[in-house]
Chain A
Amino acid sequence: MEEKGVTRRQFIKYAGATAALLGLSQALVPEIARALEEMAASGKPPVLWIQGQNCTGCSVSFLNTNYPDAAEVVLDKLSVRYQPTVMAAAGYQAFGVIEDTAKELAGKYVLVVEGPIPTAEGGEFCTFGLEEGTKDLLGNKVPKDKPIEVWMEQLVPGAAAVIALGNCASFGGIPAANAEVTGTTAVLDVVKKIDKDKPVINVSGCPSHPDWFIGTVLYYLLNGKVPELDRYNRPTMFFGKLIHENCERRASFDAGLFLEDWNDNNPDMKLCLFKMGCKGPVTYADCPTRRWNSAVNWCVGANAPCHGCAEPAFYKDLSPLYEPLPDINFMGINNAETLGWIAAGATAAGIVGHYLYKQLGKKAPEGGEE
Chain B
Amino acid sequence: MAQIVTIDPVTRIEGHLRIDVEVEDGVVKDAWSSGTMFRGIEMLLKDKHPWDAQQVTERICGVCPLVHGTASSYNLDDAMGVELPDNARLIRNLCLGANFIQSHILHFYHLAALDYVDVTAVLNYAGNNPGLKALKGKIAGLAKANDLYPFMPRYESDDYVSDPEVATTLVGHYVEALEARKKAQEMLSIFYGRMPSFVGTIPGGVTVQPTVSNIAAFRSRLAELRFWIDNVYVQDIMTVAGVPAYSIFFTAGDSGGNYLAYGGFDENSQGTEKFLPSGYILANGVSAVKTFDEQQIIESVKHSWYTEDCEGRQPSDGKTDPDLEKDGAYSFLKAPRYEGKPMEVGPMARMLVLAGLELSGKIPENKQLLVPLIKQLGLDAKVTELVTAGKFGILPRHAMRALECKLLADQMDVWLDQLKPGEPIWDPKGKDIPSDSQGMGLVEGPRGALGHWITISGKKIANYQCVVPTTWNASPRDKEGNRGPIETSLLGLPVPDPENPINVVRCVRSFDPCLACAIHVIHPEHNGVKEFRVV
Contact = CB atoms under 8 A, between A and B. Distances in A.
Interface in B259-287: none
A147 B8 CA distance: 12
A297 interface: yes
Interface size, B (range): 35 or more
B410 interface: no
Given A5-B141, A57-B62, A91 B7 contact: yes
Given A84-B9, A320-B52, A305 B194 contact: no
Interface string B62-81: 11010000000000000000
Contact of B44 (A3, A66, A178, A302): A178
Nearest to A273: B207
A216 B22 CA distance: 45
A302 B193 contact: yes
A261 B9 contact: no
B149 A4 contact: no
Interface stretch (B152-160, B436-444, B481-489): B152-160
A206 interface: yes
Contact of A85 (B11, B52, B138): B11
A175 to B, nearest CB: 4
A206 B144 CA distance: 38
Contacts of A129: 8-9
A274 B101 CA distance: 34
Contacts of B150: 74, 80-83, 86-89
A294 to B, nearest CB: 5
Nearest to B88: A262
A94 interface: yes
A155 B65 CA distance: 31
B196 A60 contact: yes
Interface in B178-202: 178-179, 181-182, 185-186, 188-200, 202
18 contacts: A3-B144, A5-B133, A5-B136, A57-B62, A75-B138, A87-B150, A97-B153, A127-B16, A175-B40, A261-B426, A263-B425, A293-B194, A296-B217, A299-B194, A299-B199, A303-B200, A320-B49, A321-B55
Interface of B: 2, 4, 6-12, 14-16, 18, 20, 22, 32, 36-41, 43-44, 48-49, 51-52, 55-56, 59-63, 65, 106, 110-111, 114, 119, 133-138, 140-142, 144-145, 147, 149-155, 175, 178-179, 181-182, 185-186, 188-200, 202, 205-209, 211, 217, 330, 424-426, 428, 501, 505, 516, 522-523, 525-526, 528-529
Interface of A: 2-6, 43-44, 51-61, 63-64, 66, 69-71, 74-76, 79-91, 93-97, 118, 120-121, 125-130, 137-138, 140, 142-143, 145, 174-175, 177-178, 180-182, 184, 206-207, 261-263, 265, 267, 292-294, 296-305, 307, 309, 315-316, 319-323
